[in-house]
Structure 1
Amino acid sequence: MKAAVLQATKQIEVLDWNYRSPSPKEVIVKVKSCGICGTDQHIYHGHPGSAEVHPPIVLGHELAGEVVEVGAEVSTPQKGDRVSIDPNIYCGTCEYCRSNRAHLCNHLQAVGVTRDGGMGEYCVVPNTNCYKIPDHMTFEEAALVEPLGCVLHGFKKVLLSPLSKVLIIGGGFIGQLFLQLVKQQNVDSIIVSEPAENKRELLYQLGADEVVHPMNASNLEADVVIECVGRADSMELAVKSAAKGGQVLLFGVAAPETAISVSPFEIFSKELTIKGSFVNPYTHEEAISLISKKVVDVGSLISHRFTIDELPEAMADFPKLKVSKAVINQ
């Protein structure tokens, strides 16, 4: 099959790549659409994803397609089914798996991270990681179920009320998903901190009450702050902007060496709650429902579409292209 293979840091090549036969409990999916995640860019630049990455490997953990072959012990899904893939594979036996915290699994594997993913024509995945999608759902939408599932996991960590003033730091794709979920809660107000002028109109359409440039965000105060960037300055702004009794969700993926400076006294005196959020434990089905029912719009958030052949150049030029959300279609 044709696949875009990560050979080393900042080196992706389109190759004729062999995929293995499925085990008794695996299926082969013909990939129709695969999202390019910010984490894929992290991996491309030599950082880990949800787990350590060992090239050569086919990236792509946001994927959807059609089942074309099933293992000997697979009863569902069936050949011909249209599916979205949850990439995370848990061992089921470690202390975290056995205490309802499987996403913290000591032996976590992931499609497109520790094993070949969706940036190829075919992908081998466990049958239990396949979720059937409605006939009216596009494969692009189905590929973007995974990031919405991650956002749902983070979203459930904060408590919102009609009195909540919410600040979302980062108006890119992830911030846009959080914005739609928060809007559904009828909170008091939603402010988005985003430097890109070209995103402002969309952010207002999605429900922002105010969009501000980060340079003008230093005096903001919010009951709930959701950080979607992963930069040191934006995470420090998240803590500084939290009101007394506030909640801070650090969702953006920082580089492993990134460190931030915060005042413990500020955390103490404002009695802040600061939380992290990691991957998408068992939120895939709910995310499919939200997209299917048009509660959350993902399709209109796609800014770029590529083919596999275009991927090496696209990954190299990602910052220049000003990508909000990109997908690979086949």
Structure 2
Amino acid sequence: MSTTMQAVVLHGREDLRLETVAVPQPGPGELLLRVGAALTCGTDLKVYRRGYHAKMLVPPTLFGHEIAGTVIAMGADVAGFKQGDRVVALNSAPCGACLFCRRDQPNLCSDLLFNNGAYAEYIRIPARIVAKNTLHVPEGVPFQHAALTEPLACVVHGLEQCKPRTGDTVVVIGAGPIGLMFLRTAQIAGCRVIAVVKRDDQIASAKRFGADEVVQIAEGVDTVAAVRALTEDGEGADIVVECVATPATWEQSVEMVRKGGVVNLFGGPPSGTSVSFDTNRLHYGDITLKATFHHTPAACRRAFELITSGRMHAEDFITATSALSDVPDVFRRMLVRSATGTLDIKTAILPEAAQ
């Protein structure tokens, strides 16, 4: 095995470069994976656009975090894994000791350990992630499907926080990758699902991924009224999940939910963004506002089961494949597609395709 590898390095704002770097060596408790597949992600696109992520990375740095691959080397004291194992390694793991971990909120861990470097031939998995958030991938499950575990875990955690019941009406605002995952996950949970979308092409996508009804945002259309008209007695949805991250949709989500309902403000606007809510409606309507961040080890395992059981139909989310050498161009195209409203769902980066 060579001592060097090809990897994508983030150097700053819209500056990704394919470089030759040293193959990382696993320390105690760590694994070295040969990357089988890494998926593009909306968070990675935001980091690419901004040039940094305050919690996860500082450039220059290896890039990418949705990954699955094969164990090719191990450090001392690794338990439960061996060379040749097919695994999915999540992008983080909590400490298990801080206030938030003790309160069963490990997604808010004060020492949440992140890992990046998925767009590479090899990646080192830190010991804490090996011990707490690395899972065996069954034979027959493609790496690109297993790599969907991380974003799906965020969605699973978000929906579970809303406590849906069979038959509940769930509104999902947005039909990007996360919105489509919410649609399908809510459908699997036995909910009636209404999608709120912007573009013509998203109508068919929303229906394909689980929407029973679709409301399209358009000039002259009262989106809130259109959604409420599709709910029981026009009272509003039991649950509204906002996945667009704009002040307008945050505010609309509160108007779409019924009294006693739950709004999950899942999409995160930039720091400093302000919104306005009708306090009378919130108070006398007994409305619960939630904002769910990240995932937990338990949610990761439930997401993984949805994928490996076939219920999630992970193949629907992989809309393109590319070689490792194409990653800088892939992200440049993602910026353009995002601006024109033609963003693909997920591109699977397959390092071996570049060899």
**TM-score calculated relative to the size of structure 2:** 0.86
Match of 2:224 in 1: 218
Distance 1:273 1:108 in 2: 27
Match of 1:60 in 2: 64
**Conserved? CA contact 2:56–2:115, under 8 Å:** no
Unaligned runs of 5+ in 2: 229-236, 338-342
2:281 counterpart letter in structure 1: E
Q: Which of residues 242, 251, 256 is equivalent to 1:236?
A: 251
Unaligned runs of 5+ in 1: none
Bigger mean CA offset, 140-149 vs 51-60: 51-60
Matched, 1:198 2:201: yes
1:118-197 superposed matches below 5 A:
118-125=118-125, 126=127, 127-128=130-131, 129-187=133-191, 189-197=192-200
Deviations 1:84-130 (A, max 9, x none): 11111323332112222222111222112xxxx20111110032232
Matched, 1:328 2:349: yes
1:1-330 superposed matches below 5 A:
1-46=5-50, 49=53, 51-112=55-116, 117-125=117-125, 126=127, 127-128=130-131, 129-187=133-191, 189-215=192-218, 216=221, 217-219=223-225, 220-221=227-228, 222-282=237-297, 283-321=299-337, 322-330=343-351
Distance change (3 Å), C-alpha of 1:92 and 1:160:
closer
**Conserved? CA contact 1:97–1:105, under 8 Å:** yes
**Conserved? CA contact 2:15–2:51, under 8 Å:** no
Distance change (3 Å), C-alpha of 1:48 and 1:249:
farther
Distance 2:285 2:53 in 1: 33
Bigger mean CA offset, 47-56 vs 10-19: 47-56
**Conserved? CA contact 2:56–2:114, under 8 Å:** no
Match of 2:232 in 1: none
Give 3-state SS (helix, strand or coil) of 2:161's partner: coil
Distance 1:160 1:20 in 2: 43
**Conserved? CA contact 2:37–2:69, under 8 Å:** yes
**Conserved? CA contact 2:170–2:193, under 8 Å:** yes
Distance 2:85 2:98 in 1: 32
Deviations 1:178-229 (A, max 9, x none): 1122112333x32101112223223213321111212342312312101112
- C-alpha displacement of 1:175: 1.5
Give 3-state SS (helix, strand or coil) of 1:4's partner: strand
Distance 2:167 2:24 in 1: 54
1:98 counterpart letter in structure 2: R
**Conserved? CA contact 1:51–1:109, under 8 Å:** no
Distance 1:161 1:151 in 2: 16
Distance change (3 Å), C-alpha of 1:52 and 1:124:
closer
Distance 1:251 1:239 in 2: 13
2:321 counterpart letter in structure 1: R
Deviations 1:244-267 (A, max 9, x none): 111101112322233222222221
Distance 2:163 2:97 in 1: 31
- C-alpha displacement of 1:47: 6.9
Aligned-residue sequence identity (percent) comes to 29
- C-alpha displacement of 1:274: 0.7
Distance 1:290 1:86 in 2: 16
Bigger mean CA offset, 140-149 vs 320-329: 320-329
Give 3-state SS (helix, strand or coil) of 2:156's partner: helix
Deviations 1:275-301 (A, max 9, x none): 111111012222221111111112112
- C-alpha displacement of 1:134: 0.7
**TM-score calculated relative to the size of structure 1:** 0.93
Distance change (3 Å), C-alpha of 1:192 and 1:49:
farther
**Conserved? CA contact 2:52–2:59, under 8 Å:** no
Give 3-state SS (helix, strand or coil) of 1:317's partner: helix
Distance 1:284 1:160 in 2: 18
2:304 counterpart letter in structure 1: I
